[in-house]
């Protein structure tokens, strides 16, 4: 399955106000089950808060999972320049630094 075709929405958990990413497939499963519980991409099972409830923060695990799905190459390996054209275009620029953050 193409991971870029997976769609998800942010849903705020009633329990703690955390906003989690829930795929369309999981939302459909929750509607079919009829119990109002959604399984987020991070594995958390939540009850959706009222629509007017503002989220307190976003789930870090859901953010990481979504980021990895949309940009798997950037997260899997550090960027490096290769090829003569890239070296020519980036000549004279300081070397990339990696930060621990
Ligand atoms: Zn989550």
Going by pLDDT thresholds of 50, 70 and 90, the confidence category of residue 81 is: low
Question: In the chain, how many domains are there?
Answer: 1
Whether residue 35 lies inside any domain: the answer is yes
> Each residue of 25-55: pLDDT tens digit?
999 999 999 988 999 999 999 999 998 889 9
In terms of residue numbers, what domain contains 82? 3-89
Whether residue 99 lies inside any domain: the answer is no
The alpha carbon of 84 and the centre of ligand 1 are apart by a number of angstroms equal to 43
Whether residue 97 lies inside any domain: the answer is no
List, edge to edge, every strand of the sheet that includes 18-23.
8-12, 18-23, 57-58
Residue 2, pLDDT > 70, answer no
> Who surrounds ion ligand 1 at CB < 5 A?
20, 40, 42, 44, 59, 62
Whether residue 65 lies inside any domain: the answer is yes
Mean pLDDT of the residues in the chain: 82
SS3 32: helix
Q: Do the beta carbons of residue 89 and residue 46 sit within 8 Å? A: no
The alpha carbon of 70 and the centre of ligand 1 are apart by a number of angstroms equal to 16
Among the listed residues 40, 62, 60, 65, the one whose alpha carbon sits nearest the alpha carbon of residue 15: 40
Whether residue 41 lies inside any domain: the answer is yes
The sign one gets for the Cα dihedral 70, 78, 58, 46 is: positive
The alpha carbon of 26 and the centre of ligand 1 are apart by a number of angstroms equal to 13
Whether residue 55 lies inside any domain: the answer is yes
Whether residue 96 lies inside any domain: the answer is no
Whether residue 98 lies inside any domain: the answer is no
The alpha carbon of 38 and the centre of ligand 1 are apart by a number of angstroms equal to 11
């Amino acid at each position: 399955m193409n991971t870029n075709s997976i769609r998800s929405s942010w849903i705020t958990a009633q329990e703690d106000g955390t906003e989690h990413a829930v795929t369309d497939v999981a939302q459909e499963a929750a509607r079919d089950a009829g119990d109002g519980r959604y399984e987020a991409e991070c594995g958390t099972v939540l009850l959706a808060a009222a629509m007017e409830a503002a989220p307190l923060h976003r789930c870090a695990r859901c953010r990481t999972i979504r980021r990895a799905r949309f940009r798997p190459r950037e997260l899997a390996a550090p960027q490096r320049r290769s090829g003569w054209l890239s070296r020519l275009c980036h000549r004279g620029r300081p070397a990339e630094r990696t930060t621990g953050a």
